[in-house]
A and B are shown apart, each in its own frame.
Chain A
Amino acid sequence: MKAKVYVSLKPGVLDPQGKAIQHSVELLGFTGIADVRQGKYFEIALQDSADKEQARESVARMAREVLSNPIIEDYRVEIEG
């Protein structure tokens, strides 16, 4: 079983890295980009015996307490397998 955690800056929090990436991408000739936001992605391998709902709960706790800073970031958890 695998957990995927996506951490992104909350709307309204300045993302200068996203802005710099957008600028570079536009220099390459890509057009029509309204905004780029940079985030983090985590893959957490879980033992196959784990209960799916319990896994979702404990990974959500990991995301809330460690992987993200709730003051500036949101997270989303997906469980696969």
Chain B
Amino acid sequence: MKFGIIVFPGSNCDHDAYHVISKHVGQPVDFIWHRDTDLNSFDALIIPGGFSYGDYLRAGALARFSPVMESVKKFAATGRFVLGICNGFQILCEAGLLPGALIRNRDLHFICEHVCVRVETSDTPFTNEMVQKSVLRIPIAHAEGNYVCDDSVLEELQRDDRIVFRYCDPEGSVTEATNPNGSRDSIAGICNSSRNVLGLMPHPERACEDLLGSSDGRDIFRSLAATLAAVA
């Protein structure tokens, strides 16, 4: 089982993700520079947060044209696992691996705070070690996290159980007041139709040790590791 973390110019959560995989998940992990195209030795990829290409044009828009992204598309098409966090989620949407787009937060602010998200489905490789409807306390840090999509995409996401996380209160209630950024249907994370690609705005890699205020994010990485162990 080997994890790869893709590094674009401007990625800044790559080392956090590396730390979590090596220390808390205890699995081999390597950085992948965005110009590399050989992903054969990896079983799962993490596209980390940050400001790839300085968020020029649109967040994630230019990273999509990095050489590695064609390989990421092929990697995902073979059913292997891709986890996009924050800017990684934006990149996956721009690249067409996930539907919809992430636009400027409703209230314009860059929001950096712990929020609660509800696990909407445990039927993904990233959440199968978690209890459905359980609440995770995980930080967000973004200015463009407002998820938008058209009505037909939203219906599809709802019907196919592809909304993986929704913003909620500590008790797990989802209301407009618990929606930090205006995301449609309070969406914090979604998966693709094959369920092997997940994008989410919250940063689970920043919530893996009690010292940092929460260790709720660990279960996402542990679910993925358990999936990989079962596949191997």
A19, closest chain B residue (CB): B108
Chain B contact residues (Cβ within 8 angstroms of A): what range? 20 to 34
Chain A contact residues: over half helix, strand or loop, or mixed? loop
CA distance A69 to B93 in the complex (A): 10
User: Are B107 and A16 touching (Cβ within 8 A)?
Assistant: yes
Residues of A within 8 A of B58 (CB): 69
The answer to whether B61 and A14 have CB atoms under 8 Å apart is: no
Contacts of B150 in A (CB 8 A): 71
Count A-side interface residues using an 8 Å CB cutoff.
11
Q: A66-B61, A71-B149 are in contact. Are A14 and B101 (CB under 8 A)?
A: no
Q: List B contacts of A1 (CB < 8 A).
A: none
Q: Which residues of B contact A16 (CB under 8 A)?
A: 104-108, 182
Instruction: Say whether A72 contacts B103, CB under 8 Å.
Output: yes
Known: A66-B57, A66-B61, A69-B94. A17 touches B101 (CB 8 A): no
* A69: contacting residue among B61, B106, B107, CB under 8 A: B61
Interface residues of A (CB under 8 A from B): 13-17, 20, 66-67, 69, 71-72
